[in-house]
A and B are shown apart, each in its own frame.
Chain A
Amino acid sequence: MPSLVAAAFEAPYLDYAALAPEIVLTGVLLAVLVVDLFVDEDRKAVVAQLAGVGLLASLLPVVFLAVDGDDRSMFSGAYVVDDFALVFKALFLVSGYVVLLMSTDHIEEGDYWKGEYSFLLLSSLLGMVVMSSARDLLTIFVALELLSIPAYMLAGWRKRDLRSNEAALKYYLLGVLSSAVMLYGMSLVFGATGTTVLEDIARELGGDASEPLVALGIFFIVVGFAFKVSAVPFHFWAPDTYEGAPLPVTAFLSVASKAAGFVALLELIFMGFFGQDNVWQPLFWVLAVLTMTVGNLVALRQTNIVRLLAYSSVAQAGYMLVPFAVGGSSDEAAGTAQTAVIVYLLIYAAMNLGAFAIVMTVARRTRSGEISSYGGLFTYAPGLTVLMTIFVFSLAGIPPFGGWFAKFYIFKSAVDAGTGWALALAVVAGVNSVIALFYYAGVAREMWMQPVPGDDRTPIRVPPALGAALGITAVAVMAIGVYPQAFARLGDLAQLAVR
């Protein structure tokens, strides 16, 4: 019987500067929970403001760490603060702030328990911030659960609304099933390598021909995360959950939660399993083709704007899976693939949050999610129409808005890889971009050319918080589209070292 008696315990080295963003965020979310207890019901806005200021405060240490520039590693490589981690921490904190701005009025009018809402949102963000630094199977698992469990509750926030209940139930059951499947895969990988740290796993696995145990483990892990990023055929929860959940939560799930899934995939694939590309490359190839095609084709038939955005976000996940399917051939291809995914995630966050902010603003007046309710929007809300046009054309990938650059990088990664399979994938992605143009342009046509339904032309009032969210996202989309070099640089810096 082998012995498990470990050596004498040594306290691990803790770099508090590297952990500062997490520490500040934890402090803020506890403060939010406590302050919420002592604030009167009519002054709950204070709690949301505290959460917002706290999010910006935890962004400060991220900026300082980025200026400092050193890579910091803790717990024998299980928790690393490098450029990759910092870029994604910043992305999560900023998009969390935008979601908080979008929530302020939505939760106040017609929803309840504002304090707890902010608390859960911050908890989920903490999970994402931890995820960007996790370089270990166990840490990735804990981060994934920390970001998912509050999100299940947020999806069911409207307790008496049957649709919201259904959204929460579907999201919960598939989320838990996917993390259980992923865990089974992790247990197999642990069995094959005897370690949970990604760096050591890469060393143990090397580029050798895969054992069946490892191949099965990687398969289950990828399937688990395919649920998380809503890749076809594991996407069926997404449209229902997006439609039933409160709108700001939908925006949060479709952007931040999806990005966290991709962050975990980047870490696992390019740090842990890179040598085993004969296992994961074909898997991602099939997922990417299915996700792009099914997402776009089903989006064509949607009449509800939220469901349209849900299927469009499925399709967008498909584009982001393309670099994974072509990144395994060489270290260079891996670098280009990572840059492509990182740049796409940053731009996608801005344009998708912006589109949801518009949907929320319009829904405040029309109380409807039907695309037909956008008819003639230009005649009574020209500003919103122009912004929405920018966001949908950016999602479609038309210059000079940010989205074209993201798409360009996806194609670049496929063409640079140069293999027949990669080029075939680039062709599929190209055809899909054309299909996508139809439904995105359909929304624009409705707003600019169709008559106003019911001829109700009262202007739409934009509350300041929602206006700020719109401003941030619109500026980001335009800035990326006009000065893409700065973002490409960010993507290059943030690559993980491939082993």
Chain B
Amino acid sequence: MANALAAALTDGCHFAPPGCAFPAPNADIFEFDTYLKFHLLGIDWSITKPVVLAVIGTAFIVGFFLTAFARPRLVPGRLQSLGEVGYLFIRDQIARDVIGKEGDSFVPFLASLFFFVWVMNLFGVFALAQFPVMARFAFPVTLALMVWLTYMYLGMRHQGPIGYFKNMMFPPGLPTWLYFILAPIELISNVIVRPFTLAVRAFANMFAGHLLLTTFTVATWYLLSPSIIGIIGSTASAAVTVTLTGFELLIQALQAFIFTLLTAVYISSSLHADH
């Protein structure tokens, strides 16, 4: 429980008394109390903090783009320009660059992915939220599953169900013996490793970042004591926390970008066999 850490800090571990070890945060800080529990449609629902944050974030994204493009004008207003900058960034930097001229029809999907992942990550440094939703494995797994279904379906539709796997496993122009090694590797890497690494990358980055931020925040409080060493250590930890927060902002945007970029790469490899 996240509360165990807070209890350890407030009960006696503040001011670093002798015999009180540093309460290093572990994976328990990613577990949350259930706000609400109910039974609906045959599923047991427990509403926890990440769920609430996800709903708020989604509502924010939907609300933002609805208001930005509610009455589109030729000369855009302030909000519309902001929305256009975001949307055009995905179109020009990712869709058209990676997929090519067919990429325009995937921009809505890619833009939704990018902004969802980004806002979910941003909650990691957002005051009062302070938890990156992507640090719960279920969220990136669901997104990766969506991406997996999309590129598998597109591949089978554009290259044929057999042609897709044939192009994937047997690219032409190689010596025969090589196919015995290449075919299983290509199959595993395309069907299993791709979605797995896509999910793990988004998850682990946010997990590690949150753990790092928590460690130094806890250290700031733990080391704070009326002594020279305590003040120096505490101030240094606080400075590191602030620096890491800035670093996290960069990582969050980069991870959202990479998630979208890899999705575009996978879609593009499904549209035309690359050899």
Decide whether A and B are members of one complex: no
